[in-house]
């Protein structure tokens, strides 16, 4: 017993010294373990940030980040579905913006119009017709300038009894070729954009063949500016006609009446003339158009335009010949009824309409258009440009509905 007590007394100091050392070693090992765990977590986080994204939905990285970040309080935390929806929409928008747009486009428009005279007396002045317009364009760059080439053609027909000189119900237009530079220049202070364009016609109609038209060249410049949801523009254009002959003749067509055997002629002409004289062809013309459109919402648009044009015909007689053979009569104001020189005429067109884009490729529209001389028949007053209140039977005003589609 005394021996055991002596051993305990001798070992007590050593045990007292060993206990702190053991505790220190345990603490050191625990610290190292914490450091290793922290380093491992940091390396895994870095690896997850630099690892290439697998083909998963665009919203998944946001969910991972939300899981790693401290959880917000339940009162302000957004729902995961809302975050997914927002990120997915943003991703789709970015893809649409970055997606290259096709350089070409094709469009078609089907239009039907009803003349104002239909409401006056349908048996005499009715007009109901349709038209189909086809167009295509191709966008490209030339020396850093964005250009657009276009081609257009239209076909028209009348359901009611036609009252034109040929009696045709169906017709078509000359082929039109165009080249424009959309938004070529923009003045930074006023934010006015300039768009120039050129066009030429290919004569495909009987009317152009009769007029001996080679082509009609046109040039225009358009100035436009946006004021929020309102877009205003002004266009100035001019055209020059090229013809084989300055005179428009209708060739004399003779045929025999099968019931009587009498030879008839389509028109009466002098023996020394090749046909019936229909006047001089148009030499050149100038047109001005002021237009505006307003879009209260993205797909709905209201529009209005007002145009004025003047055309000049070829001068086919000399002033001396005109003075010698022309009438010397005067009008009620004492002015000569015959003026020598180039004949001219002017016209005015006013339109009002609304259009709705159901999709990016399909739209519908409705409108009203009035076209005719700017002065009344007695030349004493101006006509109202957007509706004919004075002579509705003349069908100067028409109402239309159209649908258009594009690719």
User: Domain range for residue 208?
Assistant: 94-246+281-406
How many domains is the chain partitioned into structurally? 1
pLDDT score, position 253: 66
Least confident of 76-80, 196-200, 341-345, 358-362: 76-80
* pLDDT > 90 in the chain, percent: 52
Asked if residue 259 is part of any domain, the answer here is no
Residue 302 lies in a domain: yes
pLDDT at 70: 43
Q: What is the pLDDT of residue 242?
A: 97
Other C-beta atoms lying within 10 Å of the C-beta of residue 249: 18
pLDDT > 70 fraction of the chain, expressed in percent and rounded: 69
260: in domain: no
- Answer with the residue of higher pLDDT: 206 or 35: 206
Average pLDDT over the chain, rounded to an integer: 80
Rounded to a whole number of angstroms, the distance between the first and last alpha carbons of the chain is 109
Model pLDDT for residues 287-299, shown as the tens digit of each residue: 999 999 999 999 9
With a cut of 70, say whether residue 382 has pLDDT above it. yes
pLDDT score at 43: 57
Nearest to 397 by CA among 376, 372, 366: 372
Phi, psi dihedrals of residue 340, rounded to the nearest 5°: -80, 150
150-208 residue pLDDT tens = 999 999 999 998 887 777 899 999 999 999 999 999 999 999 999 999 999 999 998 89
* 234 Cβ contact partners less than 8 Å away, ≥ 6 residues apart: 222, 223, 224, 288, 289, 290, 291
Q: How confident is the model at residue 63 (pLDDT cuts 50, 70, 90)?
A: very low
Residue 76 has pLDDT above 50, yes or no: no
Judge contact between 105 and 152, C-beta under 8 A: no
The mean pLDDT of 84-106, rounded to a whole number, is 63
Q: Does the global pTM surpass 0.75?
A: no
Residue 266 falls inside a structural domain: no
Residue 61 resides in a domain: no
Nearest to 364 by CA among 313, 307, 404, 327: 404
In a domain, 398, yes or no: yes
Asked if the structure places residue 36 within a domain, the reply is no
Compute the distance between CA of residue 287 and CA of residue 346 in angstroms, rounded to an integer: 10
Residue 44 domain-assigned (yes or no): no
Here the CATH number for the domain that contains residue 131 is 2.40.160.40
pLDDT of 38 higher than 80? no
Q: Cα separation of 278 and 271, whole Å?
A: 16
Q: At 139, is the secondary structure helix, strand, or coil?
A: strand
- 337 dihedral zone (left: phi>0; alpha: psi -120 to 50; beta): alpha
């Amino acid at each position: 017993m005394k021996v055991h007590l002596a051993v305990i007394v001798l070992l007590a100091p050593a045990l007292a010294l060993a206990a702190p050392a053991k505790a220190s070693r345990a603490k050191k090992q625990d610290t190292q373990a914490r450091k290793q765990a922290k380093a491992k977590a940091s390396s895994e986080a870095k690896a997850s940030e630099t690892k290439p994204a697998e083909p998963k939905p665009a919203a998944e990285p946001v969910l991972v980040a939300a899981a790693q970040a401290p959880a917000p309080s339940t009162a302000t935390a957004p729902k995961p579905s809302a975050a997914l929806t927002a990120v997915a929409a943003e991703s789709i928008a970015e893809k649409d913006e970055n997606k290259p747009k096709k350089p070409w486009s094709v469009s078609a428009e089907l239009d039907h119009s009803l003349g104002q005279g239909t409401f006056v007396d349908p048996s005499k002045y009715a007009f109901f017709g349709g038209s189909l317009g086809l167009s295509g364009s191709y966008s490209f760059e030339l020396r850093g300038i964005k250009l657009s080439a276009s081609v257009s053609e239209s076909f028209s027909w009348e359901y009611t009894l036609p009252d034109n000189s040929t009696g045709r119900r169906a017709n078509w237009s000359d082929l039109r070729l165009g080249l424009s530079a959309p938004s070529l220049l923009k003045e930074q202070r006023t934010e006015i954009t300039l768009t120039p364009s050129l066009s030429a016609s290919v004569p495909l109609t009987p009317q152009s063949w009769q007029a001996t038209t080679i082509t009609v060249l046109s040039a225009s410049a358009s100035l436009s500016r946006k004021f929020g949801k309102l877009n205003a523009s002004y266009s100035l254009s001019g055209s020059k006609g090229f013809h084989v002959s300055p005179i428009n003749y209708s060739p004399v067509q003779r045929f025999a009446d099968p019931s009587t055997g009498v030879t008839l002629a389509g028109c009466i002409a002098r023996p020394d003339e090749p046909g019936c004289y229909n006047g001089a062809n148009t030499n050149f013309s100038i047109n001005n158009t002021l237009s505006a459109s307003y879009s209260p919402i993205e797909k709905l648009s209201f529009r209005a335009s007002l145009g004025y044009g003047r055309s000049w015909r070829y001068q086919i007689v000399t002033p001396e010949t005109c003075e010698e053979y022309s009438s010397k009569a005067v009008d009620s104001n004492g002015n000569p009824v015959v003026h020598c020189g180039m004949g001219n005429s002017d016209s005015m067109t006013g339109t009002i309409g609304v259009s709705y884009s159901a999709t990016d490729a399909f739209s519908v529209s409705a409108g009203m258009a009035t076209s005719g001389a700017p002065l009344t028949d007695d030349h004493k007053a101006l006509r109202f440009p957007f509706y004919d209140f004075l002579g509705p039977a003349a069908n100067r005003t028409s109402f239309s509905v159209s649908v258009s589609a594009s690719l």
